[in-house]
Structures are given as structure tokens and as C-alpha cells.
Amino acid sequence: MAAGSETKYSLQNEKNKKEQKKSKFRKKMIPYILVFPAVLFVIGVLGYAIIAGLLMSLFDIRLSFGDAPFVGLENYIYLFTDEIFLNSLFISLIFVFGSVVLGLALSLSFALSLYKCKRTGNFYKALALVPYLISGIATAIMFRFLFSGDVGLINLILKTVGLDAVNFLADPWWALLVCVLANVWFVCPFATLVLLSGIQSVDPELFDSAKIDGAHRIHILRKIILPLIAPMMGISLIWLSFASFNMFDVILPLTNGGPGRSTEVMALYMYNVAFGELQYSLGSAVMVIILFFNVVTSVIYLKIFNVNYAD
Amino acid sequence: MKKASLALIFILFLSVLAACGNDDESSSDSNGDSGEKVVKVWFGREDFIPADNFEKFHEEHPDIRVEADVVPLEQAVSDFMRNHSAGNEPDIVQVFHDNVGTMVSQDTLMDISEYVDQWESDDADGFNKILSQAWDIASWEDKVYGMGIHVGPYWHVYRKDWFEEEGLEIPTDYDELLEAARVLDTDEHEGYALVGGREHPAWWFSSLFVSMGGEYSSTGLPQIDSEAGHYLIDFYQTLMREELIDPSAISWSSGEMRGAFIGGNAAMAPIGDNIFPLIQEEMTYGEEWTAAPQPVRPGQESNQHEIWGWPMMVSSNTENPEAVMEVFKYLSDTEIVDEVAKRYQPTTNSEVMQSEEYVEAKPWAADFEEEFANTIIMPSHINQGEVMNILVDVQQEALQNTERDPAEIAAEYQEKLNELDN
């Protein structure tokens, strides 16, 4: 009898263990199941576009000519010997560097300010998102009005305080600076929210104990906040440089690459060759190069800032 | 609850599949139910659509249904090409005329020469009202692929009242124009306005080039390393060097140039005929403002005037070319096109252009009758997009480097242009 009940017990135990295992497996699988539709969507849409673009860049597809021969890496060789593309690459690097440095500094200061706003925090958070919600074209028109040569607000202010007006959009370096400012205005809000979420995840007791120990605000920022939000800073930097490398819809209506080609970033160059000159393969090759820069910078940020979700 | 969620996901899945699937109905609807023919038309601007939106056409042709849509001229070619590959393109698409060669090279257009000849033999009177530019602008290598119902030249507009105040005559050559600009350039307004930015192709630059005696190669490349090209570059440099234009004109779009003239901030500008009604709303023609054909380059006795057009091109896959021709006849019919021409762009229907009503609606039209009839169509190269980008570069180089030798600039960019023939 006892042996029978023991066997029954061990069977029950085994069954429970199996059920527990199953349950554990189910629990482990849930995140993957939930993520699966998004992964499928990304692979379907983005993956297809990347693979099609990559393949297209190996042919010579121009709408002006009927045939589309396989040319291997010729499009890439052409690009890296074409002074107009090399100029756009150089402009892109300056543009991205300027946008990332200025964007990160502003995002961090906005995030710290929003963290301090306790009572009206939600209102200011919503307000901070406004630039991100405005379309690129509207942003460009707004900046064109601000920096226009004769009737621009900035020049009116300069004249009011007795300074000479500046032809912002007619000067290569000023025009590039205006593009950087417009881009930062556009991409900063999202980076701010990412950093704010990082700051909010820091245990407030750390700040209190640091204060008790006599730490200065700068020390709190340098020794507590910045190290603890490093992963979030990495995410912010990925966003800032990714959005800047791909930036096109603000620059097109703002300067369209001018004066000369001083604000023609790679994304704009890609648009011009693909849709203006109808050289689809060359445009695809530029897309691959932009993708390469995005991947490389992202990997660098992830390494430097040690972004690891498992932690 | 679980079942309902599953059902919802299933429906969603089916919807996605349906959306991704090929819409057989839409691709085969060129002949609709009960033998009705469907002609799909993509207009490049809403303004080109007749006010009656094909109402009269449908009454006259109950067996043909026109489905009109607007696809901006700037994206019409690439959208058309993509849809053509998928067998989903319209029967008629309106494009900038300099894209015709590209579209022909891709075998996307139908040679309608025989249908045009048929029209001429069936209705010679009606056909003869149409200027030859209507067919020339939609042709490539002597074959007709569509019809240009509206074409538009650029002329020069002047503040007549300011000229009279200063005792100046309307310039007949570009040196006189520069002299007048020097006199009229004051603290209140600029002497001249132009489009210097990269926003548009170099249409204005090209128009001035031809008016200065500029020529194109047989393949459609502008010969800027020529006397006319050097003069044009020097003209732009002079305007900027002497500050006869706004210092920020290098970033100006057409809107800013027009705004400067209409708003009283510039004494002269090269402006398209379609903008004249807007100017007329603010000023009176013949009193405050006037317009004249482009001046000549000093030393020339006469010059030519270039026009642009937005021809309606016929898809190579259209199943109803006869119905398409009926649409062309309707769109170029005097009664229909008169309304569009009065409020928007000039037409290739000569009866409309010479009618009293048109001259009354556009009082300046009579001053350009002869020049309009003798305009030449802007030649286009097979790589027209690249040609235009290079011309914009020349324009910007001239405005940025006002001391550089024009011949040197012309030689540098001519070399780039010539490479496009290889």
C-alpha cells in the first residue's frame, strides 16, 4: 500500500515538475512571442528594403536608359572618386558631429530641468515633445522665416540691437549652422525623454546621501547621474546620430543643399541622384553607405556606453 | 474573450493579406462593366483640370469615363515608372517636358503619331487651331508620344511707374537692363530679383541663356562655354557684385523672387506668364507694371524665347488610344481650355490665345502674341536631371564667386556637361 502511494506520489511529483518546466518555458517564451510580430514587420519592411537596395547598388539602374547591367562595386568606386559625393560625406560628418554634440548637451540639460519640475513636470514634458511632433517641412519653413536675410526675426533682432544683419542662408557656414540648429530642434525632444527616463530610474536616496556627504551639484552630476544613465546616453546618441545621418526632410525645404553644395548631406545627395537624376543604383549605393555609418556609430556607442539590457 | 481576440487577429491577418494582394479589379478596369472605357489621367497640378471636371465630356461620351487624379509634376515621372512596372499606371500622365526622352527610353510611352494624323484628316479645322509646339513638346526622335496643351514662357516684368519716375525706357538689351537696375537700386528696393537657390531646376537661368543667344548641342546639352554663356555668367556676377539683387538671392526660391516684385521690393524680374494674374491682382498692367519679351545680348539684333511645357503623355500600355485622343480633343477644345488658360497657363490652342476674351482677361497677352507663336521648346538631354544640376551649380558659382573669370567657370562646367554625352 505504502509502496503504491509512494509510486503515486513520485508520479505526481514528476508530473508537477513537468508542469513547472512547461510553465517556466511558457513564461520564457512570452516576451519572444510578443516581440515576434514587430520583428516580422521590421524584417518584412526594413529587411526587404535593405536587401533590395543592396542588390540594386550592384547594378546600373538608370531610368534614362533601358538596360540595367550588373556592375559589381563600380557605383561605390564612382562615389568615392566623385568630388560631389565626397563633399556631401564631409558635410554629413560635420553636420552629424555638430548635431550630436549640441543635441546631447541640450537634451541632457532639458532632461535635468524636467526632472526638477515636480509640480508642472507633465506639462513641460508634453511641451518638450512639440518639436518632435511638428513635420520636417514645417520646421524648415519656421527656420527659414527665422533666418531669412531681409525680414527674418533673428536679423530684425540683430538690427534692433545695432548689429549688422547676417545673410544666414546665403553663407555656406552660417547655412550649415542653421541646418544643424533646425535638426537639433527637431531631434532633441526624443533624446530628452530617453535621458529623463534614465535619470528618473536613479534611486533618489543616492542623491540625498550624496548631499549629506557634502557633494556639490557638479559632483552629483559627474559621479552619480552620468555614470548611472550611461546606457541611456548611449541610446540617445544612437538616436541623435541615426536621425542626423538620415536627415533630409528639414534640409530639403530649408536650403536644398545650397548655397553651392555647402549643406548637401548624404541623404540629400541620395535623394537628388535617385529622384532628380533618376540614377536608382547610385542612390541605393549611397543608402548602403549611410547604413554603414549608422551601424558603425551605433556599435561604437553601444561599446562605449556599455548598453546591455540584460543588466 | 479569447475566441473574440483570436477572431480579431484572424480578421486583421486577412486584411493585411488582402491589402498586400494584387488588386485585379483595378488593373483590368480600363474596360469597365458594360463596355465602358476608363481613361485614367494624372494631372501635374490641380489648376490644369478643367473647371467642369469632365462633366461635359461624360455627357458627350457616355461610353468613356475619365478618372482624374493629381500627382505633382515633381514626382510624376518616378511614380509613373513604378506603376508602369506594376501594370497599374494611368493612361495619361502629365510631366515636365524635359522628361520625355527618359520615358521613351524606358518604353513606357506609346507612339500616337497615327492617331494624330487621323485627327488631322478627320477634323482639319479643329486640328489646325493647335500650334505645332503642342506636338513638338511631346515628341522624341520625330515620334509623337503625347500632347502639350499648355506651355509657359518666361518674360521680364518691370515696375513701369518707377521707370517713368526715373525717365528710363524699358530695356531692350541686358546692358540697358543693368544700367536701369543701377538707377533703380535704392535703400527701399532692389534693382532686380532672380531665383538663385537650389530649390528649382535652372529654368530661369536657361531662359536667360537662350535669350542671350545661347545654343544647345544636337544631344540637348547647353553650350555654356560660348559668348552667350560667358555673358550670362558675367551678368549674374555683376548683379551680385554690385548688389543690384538681394544679397541672399543665392538662397531664393521662385516664391521669394515673385514676392520681391509683387511686394515692391524689386524693380524687375524674369517671371512666368502664369504668375501675371497674381501681379495684376496687386498692380495695374500698363500703369504700375509692365512686361516685355526677354532683352537681347548687346550686339545681337534679335533673340529667341524658350518655353517650357507640361505635356500629357500616353502610356504604352493603354488599351484605349482612341479614347485617349478624345480626352486630348476635349482638353484642347477652345471652350474648355479657354477657362484654364485665362486663370492659369497659356495654351497651344491659337484660337484661344487670339480671342478677345483672353486678351481682355490677360491684357498683356497681345504684347507677346508674335513672340509666343515663335517660341522654341527648351531642348532636353537624356540625362536632363544631371544637366539641370550642373546648370544650378554654374548659377551658384557665379553668384558666390563674383570675381572669378566667367570663361574659366564656363569651361569648367562645360567639361562636366560634355561628360554626360559619354
Give how many domains chain A has, as a whole number: 2
pLDDT reading at A146 higher than 80: yes
For B17, list phi and psi in degrees, rounded to 5: -60, -45
The least confident of A107-121, B125-139, B193-207 is A107-121
- In this structure, are residues B376 and B307 in contact, taking their beta carbons and an 8 Å threshold? yes
Spatial neighbors of B257 by CB under 8 A, at least 6 apart, are B193, B194, B195, B249, B266, B269, B271
**Residue A62 domain flag:** no
- Residue closest to B297 by CA, chosen among B211, B234, B236: B211
Spatial neighbors of B199 by CB under 8 A, at least 6 apart, are A253, A256, B253, B254
CATH number, position A293: 1.10.3720.10
Q: Which residues of B touch A170 (CB under 8 A)?
A: 247-251
pLDDT reading at A310 higher than 80: no
pLDDT of amino acid B26? 40
Does B402 touch chain A if contact means CB atoms closer than 8 Å? no
**Residue A293 domain flag:** yes
Strand B268-272 versus strand B151-159 pairing type: antiparallel
Does B81 touch chain A if contact means CB atoms closer than 8 Å? yes
pLDDT reading at B33 higher than 60: no
**Residue A64 domain flag:** no
Q: Are A98 and A219 found together in one domain?
A: yes
pLDDT of amino acid A46? 85
Does B211 touch chain A if contact means CB atoms closer than 8 Å? no
Tell me the C-alpha distance between A163 and B220, whole Å: 49
Mean pLDDT throughout A98-108? Answer: 96
Q: Which residues of B touch A82 (CB under 8 A)?
A: none
- Residue closest to B78 by CA, chosen among B62, B66, B65, B89: B89
Q: Are A161 and A130 found together in one domain?
A: yes
pLDDT of amino acid B27? 39
pLDDT reading at B20 higher than 80: no
Which of B197, B248, B393 comes nearest A256 by C-beta? B197
**Lookup result for grid cell 500616337:** B112
Strand B64-70 versus strand B37-43 pairing type: parallel
Class of domain B33-147+308-374: alpha beta
Tell me the C-alpha distance between A84 and A265, whole Å: 10
Class of domain B154-305+380-419: alpha beta
- Residue closest to B95 by CA, chosen among B152, B146, B51, B136: B146
| AA letter at A62 | R
Q: Which residues of A touch B106 (CB under 8 A)?
A: 63, 66
| Local confidence band at B23 (pLDDT 50, 70, 90 cut-offs) | very low
- In this structure, are residues A289 and A79 in contact, taking their beta carbons and an 8 Å threshold? yes
Distances (CA, A) of B37 to B43, B109, B315: 19, 19, 15
Q: Which residues of B touch A258 (CB under 8 A)?
A: 197-198, 250-251, 396
Q: How far is A96 from chain B (nearest CA, A)?
A: 22
The least confident of B5-9, B136-140, B282-286, B390-394 is B5-9
Contact A169 B248 (CB under 8 A): yes
Contact B107 A278 (CB under 8 A): no
Start-end ranges of CATH 3.40.190.10 in chain B? 33-147+308-374, 154-305+380-419
pLDDT of amino acid B34? 63
Mean pLDDT throughout A185-203? Answer: 93
For B21, list phi and psi in degrees, rounded to 5: -70, 165
Alpha helices in A117-219 (DSSP H): 121-133, 136-147, 153-160, 172-200, 204-212, 217-219
pLDDT reading at B22 higher than 50: no
| AA letter at B7 | A
Does B404 touch chain A if contact means CB atoms closer than 8 Å? no
- In this structure, are residues A73 and A288 in contact, taking their beta carbons and an 8 Å threshold? no
Q: Are A134 and A252 found together in one domain?
A: yes
**Residue A201 domain flag:** yes
Buried b (16+ CB within 10 A) or exposed e, B300-315: beebbbbbbbbbbbbb
Domain boundary among A11, A26, A56: A56
Q: Are A183 and A281 found together in one domain?
A: yes
Respond yes or no on whether the N-terminal peptide bond of residue A259 is cis (omega within 30° of 0). Answer: yes
Contact B248 A167 (CB under 8 A): yes
Q: What is the pLDDT of residues A107-139, one digit of tens each?
A: 999 999 999 887 787 888 888 888 988 899 999
For A162, list phi and psi in degrees, rounded to 5: 85, 15
Contact A148 B248 (CB under 8 A): yes
Q: What is the mean pLDDT of chain A?
A: 90
3-state secondary structure of A271: helix
pLDDT of amino acid B28? 39
Mean pLDDT throughout A278-301? Answer: 95
Domain that holds residue A28: 1-56
The least confident of A99-108, A299-308, B193-202, B275-284 is A299-308
Mean pLDDT throughout B327-341? Answer: 95
Q: What is the pLDDT of residues B339-348, one digit of tens each?
A: 999 988 899 9
Q: Are A189 and A299 found together in one domain?
A: yes
**Residue A99 domain flag:** yes
**Residue A254 domain flag:** yes
Does B284 touch chain A if contact means CB atoms closer than 8 Å? no
Give percent of chain B with pLDDT exceeding 90.
73
3-state secondary structure of B173: strand
- In this structure, are residues B174 and B415 in contact, taking their beta carbons and an 8 Å threshold? no
| Local confidence band at B90 (pLDDT 50, 70, 90 cut-offs) | very high
pLDDT reading at A301 higher than 60: yes
Sheet holding B37-43, edge to edge: B64-70, B37-43, B92-94, B312-314, B146-147
CA neighbours within 13 Å on the CB side: how many for B43?
18
Q: Which residues of A touch B248 (CB under 8 A)?
A: 148-150, 167-170
Contact A150 B246 (CB under 8 A): yes
For B161, list phi and psi in degrees, rounded to 5: -60, -40
| Local confidence band at B31 (pLDDT 50, 70, 90 cut-offs) | low
pLDDT reading at A71 higher than 90: yes
pLDDT of amino acid B267? 97
Q: Which residues of B touch A167 (CB under 8 A)?
A: 247-248, 251
Spatial neighbors of B274 by CB under 8 A, at least 6 apart, are B152, B344, B345, B346
Using N-to-C axis directions, what is the helix angle for B384-400 and B227-241, rounded to 10°?
50
pLDDT of amino acid B211? 96
| Local confidence band at A17 (pLDDT 50, 70, 90 cut-offs) | confident
pLDDT reading at B13 higher than 80: no
Q: What is the mean pLDDT of chain B?
A: 90
